[in-house]
Amino acid sequence: MEITQGETLVTEIRQLDKKGSGQAVVWRENVFGNPKKLKLTIPQTLPGEKVRVVADRPEKRRIKAIPEEILEAHPERIAPACPHFDRCGGCVWQHWQYQGQLNQKTAHVKEAIASQGFDPELVRYTIGMDEPWHYRNKMEFTFAPDGSMGLHEQGNFRKIISLETCLIAGTEMVEAAMEVAAWVKEHGLKGYDKDLHEGLFRHLMVRQSFATGEMMLALFATEAPAGDLVQAARDLTDRIEHKFPYVKSLIWLENTQWADRTQAEKTHVLSGRDFIYDEMGGYRYRIWFDTFFQTNPVQAQKLVDLAIEMGQPKKAEKMIDLFCGVGTFSLPFADRVGKLVGIEIVETSIASAKRNAKDNGISNTYFLAKDARKGIDEVLESFGNPDLLLLDPPRSGAGGKVMRKIGRAKPQRIVYVSCNPDTFATDIKELEPFGYQLTAVQPVDLFPHTVHVECCALLVLNDEGQL
Q: DSSP string spanning 417-439?
A: EES-HHHHHHHHHTTGGGTEEEE
CA-based nearest residue to 335, from 351, 319, 350: 319
Residues contacting 130, CB < 8 A, separation 6+: none
- Residue 276 · residue 325 · CB < 8 Å: no
CA pair distance 181, 298, nearest whole angstrom? 28
419 classed as catalytic: yes
CA distance 454 to 171: 24
Report whether 356 contacts 285 (CB < 8 A).
yes
Contact 318, 384 (CB under 8 A): yes
Beta carbons of 403 and 430 less than 8 angstroms apart: yes
Q: Is residue 178 within 8 Å of residue 204, measured between CB atoms?
A: no
Among 196, 195, 67, 189, smallest CA distance to 204 is for 189
- Say which amino acid occupies 20: G
DSSP state of 258: S
Integer Cα distance of 184 and 203 in angstroms: 12
Residue 323 — φ and ψ, nearest 5°? 60, 50
User: Which is it for strands 388-391 and 318-322: parallel, antiparallel or unpaired?
Assistant: parallel
Look up residue 412 and give its DSSP letter.
S
> Which residue among the candidates 88, 91, 324, 419 is catalytic per the annotation?
419
b (16+ CB within 10 A) / e for 368-401: bbbebeebbeebbeebeebbbbbbbbeeebbbee
**Read out DSSP for 138-190?**
EEEEEE-TTS-EEEEETTEEEEEEE-S--TTB-HHHHHHHHHHHHHHHHTTPP
Query: Could you give the C-alpha distances from 233 to 82, 220, 225, 226, 230, in angstroms and in order?
Result: 32, 13, 7, 9, 5
- Rounded-to-integer distance, Cα 17 and Cα 279, Å: 36
Within 10 Å of residue 184's Cβ, how many Cβ atoms?
Answer: 23
Q: Catalogue the active-site residues.
A: 419
